[in-house]
Amino acid sequence: MIRALLFGGAFNPPTIAHIRLAEYAMRTLGFEKVIFVPTKNSYISDTQGKEYVFSDADRLMMLDRIAADNPWMEVSRYEIEAETQPRTYQTLCHYRDLGYQASLLFGSDKLPELETVWRHVEDICREFGIVCMKRSTDHPEELLESDPYLSGIKQWITILETPDETKGVSSTKIRRLLAEMQEEYASLKEQLPKELHTVILNYLNGGMER
């Protein structure tokens, strides 16, 4: 079985932090692949309430371009092509059925959401396990000890310290710059994987390249 980390999210757009942190987690913990699982456009706009959303096709195209240069990276169409947005547990089960030994990968900002927003958390923990990437401003170890709910599942959660080089990089910042149509292409390039430089430049010039 292929040991893989399942990395879900909007990737709206994918940043260099997404890519570097995913690869760092994979290599540090001895996994073989990271499966990037972008969520449906409708979920991002309707459920998460984000106003500026790249289309499903554009986000898949961007991830595919990056994956072409990174053989350890796999891009999933499972959630985007589903009739309704699957829950994370469903997606993990899907990849287990395909023969993967999968664990869930996410940032420490998701920990406080597990009890109230997520579903099937205990099943995810017991059947797959969670790798939690520590964000610079978070204190996940303290949260796992102090929160009654999280302390009950902490044995299945691995906290991973992350490199300083990814601090300050965010999809939100990039969306804001794009929405304002600022001509700061050099600044954008520093935060995006090289495979997307031409894509974003074309976007700034009036349209996404496919």
- Per-residue pLDDT tens over the stretch 153-168: 999 999 999 887 766 6
What's the pLDDT at 137?
Answer: 80
| Range 79-86, long-range pairs (CB < 8 A, 24+ positions) | 79/8, 79/37, 79/38, 79/39, 79/40, 80/38, 80/39, 80/40, 80/41, 80/56, 82/40, 85/39, 85/40, 85/42, 85/43, 85/47
46, 115, 176, 186, 200 from 182: Cα distances, Å: 27, 39, 9, 11, 12
What's the pLDDT at 151?
Answer: 97
DSSP secondary structure letter of residue 14: -
Asked if residues 132 and 159 have their Cβ atoms less than 8 Å apart, the reply is yes
CA 190 to chain centre: 19
Return the bridge partners of 4, or none. Answer: 33, 102
27, 63, 95, 196 from 88: Cα distances, Å: 23, 19, 11, 27
Prediction pTM value: 0.81
What's the pLDDT at 168?
Answer: 65
What's the pLDDT at 209?
Answer: 45
| Residue of 93, 91, 102, 103 lying closest to 156 (CA atoms) | 103
The full set of domains in the chain, from first to last, is 2-163 (3.40.50.620)
Per-residue pLDDT of the chain (210 residues; tens, 9 = 90+): 899 999 999 998 899 999 999 999 999 999 999 999 999 887 776 666 666 678 899 999 999 999 999 999 999 999 999 999 999 999 999 999 999 999 999 999 999 999 999 999 999 999 999 999 998 788 999 999 999 999 999 999 999 998 877 666 676 676 666 666 545 666 777 788 888 887 876 776 655 444
What's the pLDDT at 185?
Answer: 64
- Per the document, the length of the chain is 210
Number of other residues whose CB lies within 10 A of the CB of residue 160: 16
Tokens in use for 189? Answer: 């390039």
